[in-house]
Every structure is written in structure tokens, then in C-alpha cells.
Amino acid sequence: MAFFSSSILSLVSPFFLFMFGIASAQLSSNFYSSSCPTALSIIQGAVSTAVSKEIRMGASLLRLHFHDCFGCDASVLLDDTTSFKGEKTAGPNANSLRGYEVIDTIKSQLESQCPGVVSCADILAVAARDSVVKLGGTTWTVQLGRRDATTASFNDAQSNLPSPFSDLSGLISAFSKKGFTAPEMVTLSGGHTIGQVKCSIIRTRIYNETNIDSNFAASIKKNCPSIGGDTNLSPLDQTAGVFDNTYFKDLVNKKGLMHSDQQLFNGGSTDSQVNTYSQNSAKFFSDFGSVMIKMGNLSPLTGSKGEIRTNCRKTN
């Protein structure tokens, strides 16, 4: 599950999912070193192939992990059953989340090599990291050993999702409730350096708001008319196929695409951090890796909890 309503974002948005507690209990970076030593290379190879085929997929896979990390338990991948209504059809996810087929491919390869060993939740976590790296971004050590949920919650997916129309105070408050500081919120927002957003979400900003570069707004309007074209996509920053610090440079230049993005640089308490990241990509990369590790440790299922699914779309 993620922070921003995903019906608004076409792929990434990266960043907005959190749980109430952080538990890295039985996670470790070498969890599969004996039970499935080729696991990480299999995931990396499949992600590389998928992103090479379609650059947009890198953002989609990052976003899948974000949306899963209400507990980082792969609940977002479960199809509806007679006993529960899952997360896929919830408003924030329906016709928005994508990349399920890539996860299916990875799982199939892993099951052939190491049956019943690697969880779908860990696949999501590693695929997110490998996607960022494939698009030129930073790397980080993914802690492993998550297990998969045996149920999913439509209602949970419907709630806990701040709006892309949120002001800075709302963003800070919402992230704080999930255990993140304001600086960490800014860092995670940098995931918007890749991906795209629907016209329906940015229309009010580009047509009505004043804290936006006029030439930039005019260029976006060409693909986002005042009426119609709701599903037309625009890149979240000007190098949306590359994971870099352009997102923050754009904010400094009043070229944030969503209202909530530009709130990070709008005369408020986070302006200085955005300035720093806009000038220092190494600092952003380092911080992003650290906060992604924290996010990936949000209340995972470990030990005997949950299961290791054979098929990521359904329980065993």
C-alpha cells in the first residue's frame, strides 16, 4: 500500500507507504545465501530485461514495492477470492498499478531454481532496488527474509493514502504517523524522479496555480487539455527515464508537476533540503538508499508468520 492515491499516479510515486512500526527482526542481507544462492542474480536479470524492454517498467516496479509496504508482505499482489476482497481493485490501485507480469516471471524462474524458498515480498523489495539501479540510481543492501501475507484488505488500500493535492503540513503529519521524519518524507518523494502522472491529477495545478513556471505549464498543457484527455500521461520530472536529482532541480525552478510535489519547495520548512538535493545528487542517493531500507523494514512477516507463496497472485 502506498501513500499517494495511485489512481492519480500512473507509475511511480514512489514512496508513500508505511506501517506503524518498524521491525527488522529476522531479516538479513544473506538470508538466501544457502537456500537459494542465485536468487538475487535471477531477480536482477529479469528486472534488467523488463526495464530494457520498457523503461517505464522501472518506475512501475518501484511503485509496486511502495504500495506493498503497508507491511511489505506482498498482499498487493493477491487477486480477490471468495474469502476476501484484495487491494488490486481498490481506488488507489485499480487501473494504475502495473508490473504484475514481471513479478510473475521472476517468481516462475525462482520456483524452477529454488522451489518454495523466495517470498513474493522479497521479490518486490529486490526488484524495486534493481529498477532504481537499472535507471542510473543508487543501490542499497536489501534486507531479506520477509514472508507473504495470506490475505489482503481492500479497505486498507482505500484508506491511509494522502492526496496528491496535500499541502506540506498534511504531508509531514501523514508521514510522521507512519514513523518518518519530514526530511525522510522529502527523500522518499525523490522517487518521483521516475514515472508519469495522469492529466486529471495535474490539471488544476497547471491551469490554476501560480507557483509554477509559466513556460513549463504551457508545455504540459499541450498534452493535458482543460477538458478531456484525463488519462494522458506526463513525466514527473524532465528526465523521467533516469533516476537522478532532476526532480529536486525542477522543484527549485517551480516545475513540480503535482501540487504535493511543489509543496516541498514553496517557502516552507523543507526548502533547504530540496535545495541541497538539487545541487548534490550524491547526498540524495545516499539518503534515498537509507530510507528505502527503513521502508522495507516496516512490519514484515518473518519466522513462522505468513507463508512462501508458490504463485504470487494467490495463497497456497
Catalytic positions:
67
User: Is the Cα dihedral 209, 178, 161, 101 positive or negative?
Assistant: positive
Q: Is 87 annotated as a binding residue?
A: yes
Q: Is 259 annotated as a binding residue?
A: no
Q: Is 213 annotated as a binding residue?
A: no
- Closest-CA residue to 178 (of 59, 299, 261): 299
Q: Is 235 annotated as a binding residue?
A: no
Q: Is 68 annotated as a binding residue?
A: yes
Enter the C-alpha cell of residue 260: 504535493
Q: Is 71 annotated as a binding residue?
A: yes
Q: Is 239 annotated as a binding residue?
A: yes
Q: Is 54 annotated as a binding residue?
A: no
Q: Is 237 annotated as a binding residue?
A: yes
Residues with Cβ within 8 Å of residue 56, at least 6 apart in sequence: 11, 195, 196, 241
Q: Is 38 annotated as a binding residue?
A: no
Q: Point out the annotated binding site for heme b.
A: 192
Q: Point out the annotated binding site for Ca(2+).
A: 68, 71, 73, 75, 87, 193, 237, 239, 244
Q: Point out the annotated binding site for substrate.
A: 162
Q: Point out the annotated binding site.
A: 68, 71, 73, 75, 87, 162, 192-193, 237, 239, 244
